[in-house]
Structure 1
Amino acid sequence: MPQKHPLASSESIDLSLLAEAKFIGITTDYGFRNLVDSFCTEVGFIPNYVCEMEESSVIQELIKLLPINIGESFFLIYCS
């Protein structure tokens, strides 16, 4: 989420706070998309996808480069 988003500075958030949000995500061909959808369903909403792409790296760049927030997205972060 963009740095100026009200929830951006939070260490963690309640997923239900994003129930009215627009989402950008990978297509349903990927297991991670199904995981995100199931988490959202568990807290009572179906994500409103306004944009779907096959490459998560493209989504990340899109979010970084656009001057406006067109939607929320989830990414895996690997820690070693």
Structure 2
Amino acid sequence: MELALTVLLVIVCISLITVVLLQPGKSSGLSGAIGGGSEQLFGKQKIRGSELFLHRATVILSLLFFIIMLTLTYLKI
């Protein structure tokens, strides 16, 4: 059980790193922070297409990471 969770954790970690690195940067430098930063803050820009998929994958993989780590910690005690 512990070995299977450890292997699954490694797979989730590699997937999470890959998904995070594939996401485009959201900042557009200093001009974006002054002029267009409020648009992202109040949600006027909608996420579409591959960005939506990458965002959802990041959330799901991070939740899996958290749950697997808690389970492994509980099994080690």
| Shorter-chain TM-score tier | under 0.3
Q: Going by fraction, where is strand more abundant, 1 or 2? A: 1
Q: TM-score, normalised by structure 1?
A: 0.27
Structure having the higher Rg: 2
Q: Going by fraction, where is helix more abundant, 1 or 2? A: 2
Higher relative contact order (CA 8 A, sep 6+): 2
Q: TM-score, normalised by structure 2?
A: 0.28
